[in-house]
């Protein structure tokens, strides 16, 4: 368990995302017919906007809006179709909420248009591997940039799920992604990292990363954790539909918070809000006990 340092992460439009005071909730808003967890539920701009506003009311600090499913085996979606899905939702939400809006895309053209409509964060599952111009968009617009770890594309990622030492390799490859971003002009202070649970990883790899999440702190950037409803959670609980994995998600979210995550990306915002509040309180108490331990020899620690 670690007590996080504070980061001020710049967003487009001159805003700043303050990280480290408490764990932030990122609500997942999929504008797709085929997402693994909630495909088709929000495949309409009006319904998606209403769902996003409910998430904000439930406690979401950030809304992550995506128009292409990136689940393993998913087909790719063209940029025009992706923009048709997400841009009206971003515009509508930007008019009605001050919550941070994130565009979940790996395409530079989609990201640029989304930031122009009100998004201030770009969430790239590829870590700038699929479209190098995306880094230039983040640099030009001043948007925060989430770099996730993966290998290969959605249809082939499991072919690359072979590791000698998964934590070390993920840390190294995320470090390379940071290098790609800064070479494109992205400020290091604007970068957030995601270990990519379930992406090009077998279940045991995701569990190892989750258990050893504090080791990613060596990269010096805040961590976003996204275990929500993912298939690696089925191992201990048995075969369950994604929507039936909320209790398992709660355990993974708690572990993420205690492991130093600054943001947790979830489907069930209302449920995970209470989970995060309690986990934050435990982490805060641990930090206080650690402070006492450093003051003298009589602490129980």
Q: Which residues are catalytic?
A: 230, 265
Comparing CA positions, the residue from 70, 37, 107, 72 lying closest to residue 200 is 72
Q: Which residue has the tokens 């880094």?
A: 135
Contacts by 72-80, CB closer than 8 A, 24 or more apart: 72/154, 72/155, 72/157, 72/158, 72/198, 72/199, 73/154, 73/155, 74/34, 74/154, 74/155, 75/155, 76/153, 76/154, 77/32, 79/107, 79/109, 79/110
Give kind and range of the element (H or E) at residue 167.
helix 166-183
Comparing CA positions, the residue from 108, 94, 161 lying closest to residue 136 is 108
DSSP lists the bridge partners of residue 64 as 28, 102
**Residue partners of 59: CB distance under 8 A and separation at least 6:** 25, 269, 270, 273
Distance of CA 74 to the CA centre of its chain: 19
Cα angle 216-203-213, degrees, rounded to a multiple of 5: 15
């Amino acid at each position: 368990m670690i007590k996080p340092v504070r980061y001020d992460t710049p967003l487009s439009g001159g805003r700043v995302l303050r990280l480290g005071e408490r764990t932030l909730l990122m609500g997942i808003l999929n504008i797709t017919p085929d997402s693994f967890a909630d495909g088709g539920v929000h495949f309409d701009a009006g319904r998606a906007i209403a769902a996003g506003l409910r998430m904000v009311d439930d406690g979401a600090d950030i809304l992550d809006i995506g128009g292409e499913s990136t689940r393993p085996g998913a087909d790719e979606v063209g940029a025009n179709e992706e923009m048709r899905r997400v841009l009206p939702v971003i515009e509508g939400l930007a008019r009605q909420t001050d919550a941070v809006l994130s565009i979940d895309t790996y395409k530079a053209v989609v990201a640029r248009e989304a930031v122009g409509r009100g998004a201030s964060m770009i969430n790239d599952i590829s870590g700038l591997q699929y479209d190098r111009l995306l880094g230039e968009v983040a640099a030009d617009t001043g948007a925060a940039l989430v770099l996730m770890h993966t290998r290969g594309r959605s249809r082939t990622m499991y072919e690359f799920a072979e590791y000698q030492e998964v934590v070390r390799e993920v840390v190294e490859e995320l470090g390379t992604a940071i290098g790609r971003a800064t070479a494109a002009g992205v400020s290091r202070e604007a970068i957030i990292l995601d270990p990519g649970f379930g992406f090009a990883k077998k279940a045991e790899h995701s569990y190892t990363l989750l258990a050893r999440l504090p080791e990613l702190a060596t990269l010096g950037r805040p961590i976003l954790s996204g275990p929500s409803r993912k298939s690696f959670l089925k191992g201990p609980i048995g075969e369950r539909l994604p929507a039936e994995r909320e209790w398992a998600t709660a355990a993974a979210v708690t572990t993420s918070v205690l492991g130093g995550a600054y943001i947790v990306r979830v489907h069930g915002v209302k449920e995970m809000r209470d989970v995060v509040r309690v986990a934050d309180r435990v982490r805060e108490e641990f930090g206080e006990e650690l402070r006492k331990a450093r003051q003298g020899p009589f602490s129980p620690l």
